[in-house]
Chains A and B, each alone.
Chain A
Amino acid sequence: MTVTVLLFASYADALGMRSMAIDFAPGATVRDVISHVRALPGAERLPVQPLVAVNETYAKADRLLNAGDEVAIIPPVAGG
């Protein structure tokens, strides 16, 4: 199954991209997505447990994913 991963701000700059499509076996979780992304070149500055949102809602690392989910890795927010 394919999930879309979104990157923003400092994380997008670090990896040099804003989004990617990644294939996972069924049963994959948010944790698997983080492991995959943290292994990419430039990902050294991503924390071990970054904030993550699945389909626009904050989610925990053990959240199960479905095909077509949008997984956003959220840098420390700084609005206001």
Chain B
Amino acid sequence: MRTALVETPIDIAAITAEVGRSSNGATLVFIGTVRDVNDGRPVSAMEYTTYRSMAARELNDIVREASQRFGTTDIVVEHRLGALELGEASVAIAVAHPHRGPAYDASRFVIEQLKARVPIWKLEHYIDGTREWVGAGSGKGEAGSGVTAGEVR
């Protein structure tokens, strides 16, 4: 198991090889990429920031939970930080398991937990020159209100 927050492009082939072993019959790689449109607005680039020490801890916790839940230690997660261009991989999750079912389940678990818990934020740059924090909304009382750690988990 390994997790990393990285400033350079994710090497998909390397993390795929890292989880591969002959006892595993299934290897899955999920790649999240920077999309060219969000909520109908054309996007030109993306910038990721984090609360690094906490994000590293949360990522490790998620992978440990996935390992216990789905029965494999062959899980590697890397998340990019900084400025990314369209189409670049922002996150990659490699999972290998003797069987495909738990591999798919573990991969899905890791990305859903990551999106709910890991303190990473993205600043979207739009074609028209404006920028906006994704999910920040426009006023008070939106996402995040009243949510506690217990509910997030």
A: residues with CB less than 8 A from B are 6, 8-10, 13, 44-51, 53, 56-61, 72, 74-80
Q: Which of B74-121 contact A (CB under 8 A)?
A: 79, 90-91, 111, 114-121
Output the least CB separation between B100 and chain A (Å): 23
Pair B51/A75 contact, Cβ less than 8 Å: no
Q: Which residues of A sit under 8 angstroms from B79, Cβ to Cβ? A: 79-80
Pair B54/A72 contact, Cβ less than 8 Å: yes
Q: Which residues of B sit under 8 angstroms from A47, Cβ to Cβ? A: 140-142, 144-145
Most buried by B among A53, A76, A80: A80
Most buried by B among A9, A48, A56, A78: A78
B: residues with CB less than 8 A from A are 32, 48-51, 53-55, 57, 79, 90-91, 111, 114-123, 133-150, 152-153
The SS class assigned to the B binding surface is: mixed
- State which of B54, B135, B148, B153 has its C-beta within 8 Å of the C-beta of A76: B135
Q: What would be 30 A-B contacts, judged by CB atoms less than 8 Å apart? A: A8-B121, A9-B121, A46-B140, A47-B140, A48-B146, A49-B146, A49-B147, A50-B144, A50-B145, A51-B147, A51-B149, A53-B119, A58-B150, A60-B148, A60-B149, A60-B150, A72-B51, A72-B119, A75-B121, A75-B133, A75-B135, A76-B137, A76-B143, A77-B118, A77-B121, A78-B133, A79-B48, A79-B120, A80-B111, A80-B115
Given A78-B135, A79-B114: A6 in contact with B140 (beta carbons within 8 A): no
Pair B51/A10 contact, Cβ less than 8 Å: no
